[in-house]
Amino acid sequence: MILHLSNTYIRQDNRILKEINSLNDNGFKCHSFGIERDTETLKDAEMLLNKNHLTFTIKALNIKWLPRSIKYFLVLLELTYRFYVTGKKNEYKLIHCHDTFVLPVGVLLKLKHNCKLIYDAHELESNKSGQSFILSG
C-alpha cells in the first residue's frame, strides 16, 4: 500500500490525482492525506473523500494574530501529529511526500512502518517565494 502526503487540497491537485489514478490502474492500492485550507467548506475536522483519501482541517491555519513564523511552526506540528496518528493505523510499503512541509511526518511514518520514502518536490516547490533556505532545498 502507498501513502501520498501533501499540504495541498488533494481533490484539486491534478499532479497527485493523476499519479494516484495511474497507480490504482496498475494494481497498487493508495491512500492519501491532504489539507483543506478553507475550513468553512468542511463541517467536520476530517472529511472522508472516500475510504482511502482523507482531507484534514488544520486549526492553526485560522490563527490570524500570531507572527508568521510561530503560526508556521504550529501548523507544522498539528499537521505532523494528525497525519502521523492516522497514518500509523495502516501498514505502508511506500510513503510519497509531495511537498517539503510533509517531509517530517513522512520520515516518522517511514521509521514506524520500516518502508521506503519518496520525496518528490515537483517542479516549483524548491523555488517558492517566502520559503526559507532550509525548506527550499
- Could you tell me where the DSSP H helices lie in 5-137? 14-25, 68-87, 103-113, 133-136
State pLDDT tens for residues 41-84.
444 434 445 567 788 888 888 888 888 888 889 989 999 999 99
- Retrieve residue 137's grid coordinates: 532545498
The per-residue pLDDT for range 37-49, each reduced to its tens digit, is: 655 444 443 444 5
Taking each helix axis from N to C terminus, what angle separates 103-113 and 68-87, rounded to the nearest 10 degrees?
Answer: 20
Q: Is the pLDDT of residue 122 over 70?
A: no
Q: What is the pTM of this model?
A: 0.78
